[in-house]
Each structure stands twice: as C-alpha cells, then as structure tokens.
C-alpha cells in the first residue's frame, strides 16, 4: 500500500475548478516532485492534502486513513507535515519557540530537546539566533527554521511548497542539502518546486501538472530527458 494515494481529486475555488480529477501516489521513503508553471494547481493540491482546503470530490488516503473531511489539526496529528509557500513561521515568536511549536503534539520532551540540539548542530545559524524573533531572520534562515520545525513533528510525509522561492542561489544550495539530508533519514517527501531541474535532480519520481491536470509522470531522470519537459521547463530543446 502506498503511503499516500490520491484518486480523482477535484478542488474548486467558487466556480473555478483548480484541480481536475488528478491521481497520484507516493511510496514510503520516496522523494516525489510535483512540477509545473504558476497556476497549475500544485499549491492547491498540497493545501487540500493537509486539510487547509476542502476537496470537492475524490479520495485521499494517507497511511491507510481516508482524509476526506478531516480537519487540518487531525491530519497534522497523523504525521503529515506541510512547509508552506512563504514558510509560515511565527514571526513574533523566537526561533526556539517556533521549533517547540513543531513538537506541539509530542509528549517526549527529553527526545524533543535532543532533536533541537541536533538541529542546532546541523544548522548553527539557528543556534546563534535561538532567542531572536523569527521575523528578523533572513529568508534563507526562515526556510531553515520552517524545515526544522516541521521535522520536530516527526513526519511520515513532509510536503514542501517552493522551498527555494525568493532565495539567493547559494542559499538554495544550502536548503537543498538540508532536504537531501532529511531524505537520507528515510523521510518521505512530496516536493513542489518551480526550479524543475533542481527538483528532478533529488527526486525518484515526478508528476507534471498543467491547468489542474497531471499530464506526464515517470521516473525523475526520464522526465528530465523528456523533450516536452525540456522545452517547457528546462530551457532546452
């Protein structure tokens, strides 16, 4: 059984059908990317999976549980975590307070503290700024914080919406090294990314969305070599 199975998912914004009956799966331990242009329905899909938007029709099954109609807080408790576009940190709270919010549903406080110490070792910038207001961090530091906060929820599936958006190239490299480290720990990742070359380079499989539909799918390397994908997203013929 797939960790995540989406079948015939439709999502409407008022009278506009933003997602038009898509189906896809994510297996445990995989990194899967969902790629496409702005307005393709990618962010809408992730918001629906996490309970932030209602599905109009279709079925979402995560870790054997049907998610239809389940509120976002219950979905989060099932260990499905979203790092949203724009990061979604609590800007007036400190770095440490943001991290603790990631562990809100956990009772193993000693383990949480050990994991925070590990995060500080991996990401010393966060350690240096642990008492600083999160809103005062740079964009890259905020993205690090959003990733670390999500990891403290011990996710079975980590969904990332445009983690490179608005970041300088050197910081994009840093963020993607962190994502690869997370993947190497066995965490399943569903990634939305406009930097298609980068997304395909770290994924095992991918899906291409256009105008609310999935139009292509396959192994990441196969998609990277597909002439249509190259022409549309990679600047190649």
Burial class from Cβ neighbours inside 10 Å (0-12, 13-18, 19+) for residue 78 reads middle
Q: Would 70 be classed as within a structural domain? A: yes
**Do 135 and 227 lie in a common domain?**
no
Q: pLDDT tens digits for 104-131?
A: 888 898 999 999 999 999 899 999 999 9
**Do 206 and 105 lie in a common domain?**
no
CA distances from 36 to 18, 40, 131, 142, 165 (A): 14, 6, 38, 25, 14
pLDDT > 90? residue 189? yes
**The pLDDT value given to residue 85:** 87
**The pLDDT value given to residue 105:** 80
Q: From CA 92, how far away is CA 208, in angstroms rounded?
A: 37
Q: Would 100 be classed as within a structural domain? A: yes
**Do 66 and 129 lie in a common domain?**
no
**Do 149 and 161 lie in a common domain?**
no
- The pTM for the full model equals 0.92
Q: Would 44 be classed as within a structural domain? A: yes
Domain hosting 206: range is 4-79+155-234
pLDDT > 70? residue 228? yes
Predicted confidence band of residue 52 (pLDDT cuts 50, 70, 90): very high
**Do 71 and 187 lie in a common domain?**
yes
Domain stop point among 100, 125, 154:
154
**Do 177 and 209 lie in a common domain?**
yes
| Angle subtended at Cα 223 by Cα 9 and Cα 48, rounded to the nearest 5 degrees | 20
Percent of the chain with pLDDT over 70: 99
Predicted confidence band of residue 237 (pLDDT cuts 50, 70, 90): very low
Domain stop point among 125, 154, 183:
154
Predicted confidence band of residue 235 (pLDDT cuts 50, 70, 90): low
DSSP 130-155: TTSBGGGS-HHHHHHHHHHHHHTT--
Q: Would 84 be classed as within a structural domain? A: no
**The pLDDT value given to residue 205:** 98
**Do 51 and 106 lie in a common domain?**
no
**The pLDDT value given to residue 14:** 82
Higher pLDDT, 61 or 68: 61
**Do 117 and 214 lie in a common domain?**
no
Question: CATH number of the domain that 162 lies in?
Answer: 3.40.50.300
Edge-to-edge strands, sheet with 16-26: 16-26, 4-13, 57-62, 65-66
Q: From CA 117, how far away is CA 144, in angstroms rounded?
A: 15
Q: Would 95 be classed as within a structural domain? A: yes
Domain stop point among 154, 169, 188:
154
Query: Buried b / exposed e across 93-107, counting CB within 10 Å, b at 16+?
Result: ebbbebbbebbeeee
Burial class from Cβ neighbours inside 10 Å (0-12, 13-18, 19+) for residue 124 reads exposed
Place of tokens 């549903």: 105
**Do 99 and 41 lie in a common domain?**
no
Tokens of 70: 């389940």
Q: Would 204 be classed as within a structural domain? A: yes
Q: pLDDT tens digits for 70-83?
A: 999 999 999 999 99
**Do 94 and 73 lie in a common domain?**
no
**Do 112 and 128 lie in a common domain?**
yes
Domain tally, the chain: 2
Q: From CA 204, how far away is CA 140, in angstroms rounded?
A: 25
Q: From CA 173, how far away is CA 95, in angstroms rounded?
A: 22
Q: Would 8 be classed as within a structural domain? A: yes
Q: Would 85 be classed as within a structural domain? A: no
């Amino acid at each position: 059984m797939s960790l995540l199975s989406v079948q015939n998912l439709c999502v409407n914004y008022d009278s506009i059908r933003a997602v038009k009956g898509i189906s896809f799966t994510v297996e445990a331990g995989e990194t899967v990317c969902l790629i496409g242009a702005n307005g393709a329905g990618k962010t809408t899909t992730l918001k629906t999976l996490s309970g932030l938007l209602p599905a109009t029709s279709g079925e979402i099954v995560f870790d054997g549980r049907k998610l239809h109609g389940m509120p976002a807080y219950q979905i989060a408790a099932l260990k499905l975590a979203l790092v949203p576009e724009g990061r979604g940190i609590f800007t007036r709270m400190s770095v440490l307070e943001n991290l603790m919010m990631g562990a809100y549903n956990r009772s193993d406080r000693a383990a949480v503290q050990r994991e925070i110490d590990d995060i500080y070792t991996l990401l010393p910038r966060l350690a240096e700024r642990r008492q600083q207001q999160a809103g005062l961090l740079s964009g890259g530091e905020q993205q690090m914080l959003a990733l670390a906060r999500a990891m403290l929820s011990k996710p079975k599936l980590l969904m990332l919406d445009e983690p490179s958006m608005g970041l300088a190239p050197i910081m994009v490299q840093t963020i993607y090294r962190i994502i690869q480290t997370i993947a190497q720990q066995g965490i399943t990742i569903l990634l939305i990314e406009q930097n298609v070359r980068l997304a395909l380079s770290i994924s095992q499989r991918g899906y291409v969305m256009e105008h609310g539909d999935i139009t292509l799918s396959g192994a990441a390397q196969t998609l990277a070599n597909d002439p249509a994908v190259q022409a549309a997203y990679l600047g190649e013929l």
